[in-house]
Amino acid sequence: MSANSLDRRFQQPEIRWARRLVDEYAFVLDGIPDMIRLRFYQVLGGHWIETEQSHYLQTPDMAAPEVSETQRHATVDAALDELLSGVLDGYRAAVRRGRQPDESWLLPNRDFT
């Protein structure tokens, strides 16, 4: 089935925001047992990737959780690089300051199902 054929099937007046799951990755951070999941979606009829993540990082030194500012990415690789660097930069900075990784650093995304 071609991408154009699939896109046309979803071009119905009642259907909004159709996406296809392209990939999903899961990992844990050293010292934090909770699994973090990252999902990547191709927007049907669009040429970009959208993401969802199961948890956001907020260490004790961060005023707010690390949330990607980019809503649309050109590729899965670009999206993955941005999400991983956001999580890892904050994690590494806290560890360098002598913080011990803790489950409380991960805030569940209530919209992730």
Q: What is the pLDDT of residues 42-54, one digit of tens each?
A: 988 888 999 999 9
C-alpha 91 chain-centroid distance = 16
| Residue 101 near residue 95, CB atoms below 8 Å | yes
pTM for this one? 0.86
User: What does each C-alpha distance from 61 to 33, 93, 96 come to in angstroms?
Assistant: 20, 9, 12
Reported confidence tier of residue 103, pLDDT bands at 50, 70, 90: very high
Q: What is the pLDDT of residues 74-95, one digit of tens each?
A: 999 999 999 999 999 999 999 9
Q: Is the pLDDT of residue 99 over 80?
A: yes
Q: What is the C-alpha separation between 20 and 28, in angstroms, rounded?
A: 25
Reported confidence tier of residue 2, pLDDT bands at 50, 70, 90: low
Q: What is the C-alpha separation between 1 and 66, in angstroms, rounded?
A: 38
Q: What is the pLDDT of residues 52-73, one digit of tens each?
A: 999 999 999 998 888 877 778 9
